[in-house]
Amino acid sequence: MIDISDGLAQDLGHILRRSNVGAVLYAGLVPLSKQASGLSDALHGGEDFELLFTLSRKEAGKLLRMPRSLFSPIGEIWDKKRGFKLVDEKNRLVDIRAKGYRHF
């Protein structure tokens, strides 16, 4: 689990590197804050102060049977060889750069 105050893509990138895995996000599932001007802001902007976490498929299923208002599934973890990708609004698979707010 990690907070995404430095940007969803960057902070998920930390999880992926530490876990030696890749991921796919689905553009239509990524929540947009009121301040976000679009998907790029949601992926690479900071100051969201939300928590991001991963679960096994079995545990995710249990969680999703609970009231959904607290959680937003946005993607899946997959093999590192497949990389870090986004299924965009046109159903295309595109690379995501793990960039976000830089403190220094």
Going from N- to C-terminal start, the domains of the chain cover 2-95
pLDDT tens across 39-71, in order?
988 898 877 678 999 999 899 888 888 876 678
CATH superfamily of 2-95: PurM-like C-terminal domain (3.90.650.10)
Amino acid present at 91? N
CB 98 within 8 A of CB 12: yes
pTM, 2 dp: 0.87
